Amino acid sequence: MTIAVGDKLPDVKLTKATADGPDQVQSSEYFAGKRVALFSVPGAFTPTCSAKHLPGFVEKAADLKAKGIDEIACTAVNDAFVMGAWGKASGSDDVTMLADGNADLAEAVGLTMDGSGFGMGKRGQRFSMVINDGVVEQLNVEEPGKFEVSSAEYMLGKL
């Protein structure tokens, strides 16, 4: 079942990419007491993710924070080393990279996709959400192959 607005985010283990290396975090602790703009991409360094999705959140970080977002986080079914490298290459300190290496979060929120046709296996769908103290406040799930409703611009328009 897919997560919905008003649902509590499931508690799963994620790995935060930091300058000092991978740092294990529990989602229940990470999302507690703050308002987070979370976006999910099918994979780090992939075309749409690198050319549009991540850069949009980097570019709109100040605008999102002006609308009450405390933190911006990106997740993908990649390991923390890949997420850290992608963050260094394409991101900024305004976006926290959260590796969902085993697809635990993607599965728990019911937003997985089959990327086997591209040699990618199980991945998280492209989506964005605003999580307020662990509860989904806004949810924007893309149709397969699209990049419209999960963008930073779309999220800003809904805040």
The residue ranking higher by pLDDT, 42 or 73, is: 73
Please say if the pLDDT value at position 115 is more than 90: no
Q: List the domains of the chain with CATH numbers.
A: 13-158 (3.40.30.10)
Instruction: Give the pLDDT mean for 27-43.
Output: 95
Reply yes or no on whether the pLDDT at 121 is more than 60: no
| Torsion angle in degrees (nearest 10) through CA of 26, 111, 158, 11 | -20
Angle CA(125)–CA(128)–CA(131) in degrees, nearest 5?
Answer: 125
Q: What is the pLDDT of residues 54-99, one digit of tens each?
A: 999 999 999 999 999 999 999 999 999 999 998 988 868 899 999 9
Cα–Cα dist 136/46, whole Å: 27
Nearest Cα neighbor of 90 from 61, 129, 52 is 52
- Tell me which residues are annotated as active site: 49
- Tell me the pairing of strands 122-124 and 127-132: unpaired
